[in-house]
Structure formats: C-alpha cells, structure tokens
Structure 1
Amino acid sequence: MKLRISMTRTLSALAVMASCAVAGQAWAADAAPIVGNAKAALDKTSMCIGCHGIRDYKASFPEVYHVPKIAGQNADYIVAALKEYASGARTFPTMEAIARSLSPQDMADLAAHYSSFK
C-alpha cells in the first residue's frame, strides 16, 4: 500500500513538473519580442499613406482631426498605438478598423518601416 501511494505521489509530481516546463516554454515564446521587417512593410503601407503620407492632412470623419506624422516616429510607440487602437483603448473609427486587421507581425513591420525615416 505504501509503495502504491509513493508511486502515485511520484507520478503526480512528475506530471506537475512537466506541465510547468511546457507552460514555461509557451510563456517564454509569448514574451519574445517580434522583430519588424521594414522591407516586408512595403506591401502594407497603402492603408497608411492615404492619410499619414499627406503633409498637414486633416481627417473629416467623425470630426475634423489633424492626422499625425508617423514617419520617423519611435517603433515601440507605433506598435503601442496600433495595439491600443486594436483593443479600443484609443478611439478613431478608421484607425480602429485598420489596427484590428493587422497581425502583431504586421504592426512590427509597419513600425520598423516608419521609424526608419529620420
């Protein structure tokens, strides 16, 4: 009987350790930063240049809004802003729709591209 209890505890401990190892690897993969590729962004910029590529452009929906310059902006800032638009933390209908259509890699690529301008 003692051997059976000991074996059960040993197997339970091994199962817990194995699940921690797997969860730890998954967490580490999630924590790895996504590296943007400025060249890969070239096919993705068409949705940006219509507003951000026009000097002193003002959007008129839902209200008149000065569109900020993103060329030369910090890459981390661009990614953070896109994530906020995608989550609804920042609100502007056009940007929300665009940001929600982007993958994390798309965001990193666009940020790498626009941050490369000085």
Structure 2
Amino acid sequence: MKKIFALLVLAGIANVAAAADIVGNAKAAPAKVEMCIGCHGIPGYKATFPEVFQVPMIGGQSAKYIENALKAYQKGDRKHPTMKGIAASLSDQDIADVAAYYAQQTAQPK
C-alpha cells in the first residue's frame, strides 16, 4: 500500500512539474489565433449562437485569465458550444501560447 501511495505522489509531482514547464510563446501563436479573431477581434461584435451576446475583446486580458477560461471550456465548466469545440482542439502549449499572445496586446477601447 505504501508503494502504491508513493507512486501516486510521484506521479502527481511529475504532472505538476510538467505543467509548470509550459511557458507561453506569443510568437508561436499567430496561426493558433486564426479561429479567435473572427469573433474576438471585432469591436462591438455580437454572436447569435446559441443566443445573442456581446463577444468579449480579449486583447490585453491577463494570460492566466485566458488560460483558465480555455481550460474551463475544455472541461465543460463554461458553457458555450463553439468555445468548447475550439478549446478542446488546443493542447496545453497552444493555450499558453494563445494566452501569451492576447496578454501582450493593448486592451481595446469599449
């Protein structure tokens, strides 16, 4: 039992260490954000699926916020079919890169 517990602890530490090694690279993101700019790059844009809502501008948002939001869409904690599909297609590195890209931008005026 102690050996199994020790292995589980080591596996958990390895996962934390692997997650900590992921660093966002804004320069790697341009091809990854092509699916984002169609909605998030248009000031005042409103989407109509699944309901009409104001699409948030994400330029200038913190990288951590964007990472958390995308991971929440992946897990289904945030509900939006299009964003869930997009987030599901992203690796952890992709998410970090996209977050770094948008975080370095200047926030858009409202």
TM-score, length-scaled by structure 2: 0.83
Number of residue pairs matched? 104
Change (3 A) 1:20 1:82: closer
Counterpart in 2 of 1:30?
A: 18
Are residues 1:65 and 2:50 paired? no
Counterpart in 1 of 2:71?
A: 83
**Letter aligned with residue 97 of structure 2:** D
Considering Cα pairs closer than 8 Å and 6+ residues apart, tell me whether 1 or 2 has the greater RCO.
2
Counterpart in 2 of 1:53?
A: 41
What is the percentage of aligned positions where both structures have the same residue?
58
CA distance in 2: counterparts of 1:25 and 1:91, whole angstroms:
31
Structure 1 gaps, min length 5: 1-12
Q: Which aligned runs of 4 or more in structure 1 are off by greater than 4 angstroms? A: 18-22
Counterpart in 2 of 1:74?
A: 62
When the two chains are superposed, the root-mean-square deviation of aligned CA atoms in Å is 2.2
* Between 83-92 and 24-33, the greater mean CA deviation after superposition: 24-33
| CA deviation after TM superposition for structure 1 residue 32, in Å | 1.7
